[in-house]
Amino acid sequence: MMMLYFLLLPLLVACLAPLLAPKKATYLSSLSFMLPFFAILYCIFNGCADIHLTTFSPPIGEISLNFDFISHAFGLTICIVSAMVALFALPYMKHRFEEMELSVEGEFRKYIFLYDLYAASMLWLVYSGNLILLYVFLEIALITAFLLIYFYGYGNRRWVGQLYLIWSLIAGVLTLAGFLIIGINNDTLALFSTDENIKVITTVGKIAWAFIFVGMVIELPVLGPHVWLPWAHAEAPTPVSALLSPLTVGLAGYVLLRIALIDYSFIVTYRNYILAYAILSSIYAGFSVFKQTDFKRLLAYSTVSQMGYMLAALCLGPFGLIGLVIQYMSHAFGKSILFSSAGGIIAVHHGLRDISKMGGLHDSIPTISNAAVIGFLNLGGILTVGMLGEFFILRGVVDTFLKSGSPSFLGWTGGLAIILAVIFMFILSVWYGFYTIRNVFYGKPKDTKRLEISGYLYVPLFIIGILSVLLLFPPLSTALIQGLNAMPGLGLGGVMP
């Protein structure tokens, strides 16, 4: 039951923090996510039992909280990113309120309530053991993100907020339709049960799968539905971008993963088409990065490219699904650092976002520059947990398309072509990462004066970066991966085709 209290803490703090001064509210908010972070670490090493909350009549069924290694991996990521971005946001949002000529004290109360509720809803989403509970927190996350963009975004923030809301509602309605079909067919919406005699979802029909898949592809998003993302991520206040890009959009991958673990047949049937779409989307968005002149918009296209990784991983059997989980973590760490780095530049260089006016910023803000390098190392899978994600994705390609006897065996020619395409997808992230670092932070400096900057703008980023490196090595990587491997249908001994 202790985990229930730790999960309730951020929701409680969302109500208490607006009553405090900005600095105290920030510390309390950060602490409310750090305590669950350490509780999750304890559960990873020692285990935690699922918690029964209540039971409704069919087709809703049991409402519970599920504490398996998938939830822990996502929850751990959400907690550390939310805690560190909350600290980063203290000077940044003060700067933003002053820029908008708003009362710092008054607006911070509204901001911190929305921020805490936004982050807490994502945490509850990944521990929800029932699809209706999951959907409720998904909608809370979408609405709070919309309000944060609408109130505190840049440019035509109200239009951008509405654009984000409309696309998100379309995704939500399609996903809800799929959930309802599942509930009707299974007479329950429970993903998990605390009692073996209580009914859980056992089948997902193709129609339900199609609704959920399309809805979550819009939410990821990948090529086509991605049109909303560059606007929302670029014009959102940077702390929101630092949660929206790495955490919220990736949760679409979490939903698809949960449905795939119930019934993988839809993915098996359309595997080649989905994989081709994912690789094409990732490569297209990767090349689009080179065309961007706005730093935050550049990072938004990078997100589209990285979401292609997750969609590709979904198609690659047990190894790929492990890769999906780890890729979520890697992308969240890297992109939260990078968006915060962009926010740091905005705060200390008076709103600077145009890459053509940057160059040589390392000389004036070396701490932010070094943090950004760690962020791009995560995206490129270099010396961070991203290495493990790319390894499992490649191993999934081999196991799915090159292993003799596999249902999707393509022979050496076809399998080699897919491996090369996936490797190029990975290389592209490294390419645009170092291209961006060179153009933004290195080269001939336009101003060599070392700037005095708040520790809030870079210390939290290094904490996220250190964790992303530690997760590459034992005991963290060993405990997490062994736990994932042991899960039915997901691990190396899984039953999934």
Give pLDDT, residue 453: 87
Q: Provide the percentage of residues in the chain whose pLDDT is more than 70.
A: 96
Rounded CA-CA distance 402/391 in Å is 16
Residue-wise pLDDT for 253-304, tens only, equals 999 999 999 999 999 999 999 999 999 999 999 999 999 999 999 999 999 9
Q: Which sequence spans correspond to the domains of the chain?
A: 29-485
Average pLDDT for 178-186: 97
Residue 468 has pLDDT above 50, yes or no: yes
Give pLDDT, residue 413: 81
Poorest-pLDDT segment among 9-23, 151-165, 219-233, 393-407: 393-407
**171 touches 216 (CB < 8 A):** yes
Task: Give the three-state DSSP class for 419.
Answer: helix
Task: Give the three-state DSSP class for 57.
Answer: coil
- Specify the higher pLDDT residue, 443 or 494: 443
Residue-wise pLDDT for 298-349, tens only, equals 999 999 999 999 999 999 999 999 999 999 999 999 999 999 999 999 988 8
Confidence of residue 486 (pLDDT cuts 50, 70, 90): confident
Burial of 286 (C-beta count, 10 Å sphere; 0-12/13-18/19+):
buried
Which candidate, 61, 213, 50, 210, places its Cα nearest to that of 130? 61
Residue 408 has pLDDT above 90, yes or no: no
Highest-confidence segment of 61-75, 222-236, 439-453: 61-75
Confidence of residue 123 (pLDDT cuts 50, 70, 90): very high
Residue 446 has pLDDT above 80, yes or no: no
**201 touches 191 (CB < 8 A):** yes
Give pLDDT, residue 495: 42
Rounded CA-CA distance 437/86 in Å is 25
Q: Using DSSP bridges, classify how beta strands 62-65 and 51-55 pair: parallel, antiparallel or unpaired.
A: antiparallel
Q: Round the CA-based radius of gyration of the chain to a whole number and report it.
A: 21
Average pLDDT for 48-76: 95
- Specify the higher pLDDT residue, 1 or 105: 105
Question: Side-chain half-sphere of 479: how many Cα atoms within 13 Å?
Answer: 16
Burial of 420 (C-beta count, 10 Å sphere; 0-12/13-18/19+):
exposed
Give pLDDT, residue 493: 46
Instruction: Give buried/exposed letters for 299-335 (b at 16+ CB in 10 A, else e).
Output: bbbbbbbbbbbbbbbbbbbbbbbbbbbbbbbbbbbbb
Give pLDDT, residue 497: 47
Question: What is the full DSSP assignment across 330-356?
Answer: HHHHHHHHHHHHHHHHHHHTTS--BGG
Residue 421 has pLDDT above 90, yes or no: yes
Confidence of residue 451 (pLDDT cuts 50, 70, 90): confident
**275 touches 114 (CB < 8 A):** no
Whole-number average pLDDT of the chain: 92
Residue-wise pLDDT for 193-205, tens only, equals 988 888 999 999 9
The two tokens of residue 83 are 């805690």
Confidence of residue 448 (pLDDT cuts 50, 70, 90): low
CB atoms within 10 A of CB 492: 14
Rounded CA-CA distance 167/435 in Å is 31
Share in percent of the chain as helix, strand, coil (round to 5): 75, 5, 25
Give pLDDT, residue 247: 79
Which candidate, 10, 3, 143, places its Cα nearest to that of 72? 3
Confidence of residue 39 (pLDDT cuts 50, 70, 90): very high
C-alpha torsion sign, points 235, 238, 244, 245: positive
Confidence of residue 110 (pLDDT cuts 50, 70, 90): very high
**141 touches 133 (CB < 8 A):** no
- Residue 51, strand partner residues: 65
- Specify the higher pLDDT residue, 412 or 118: 118
Which candidate, 304, 340, 348, places its Cα nearest to that of 452? 348
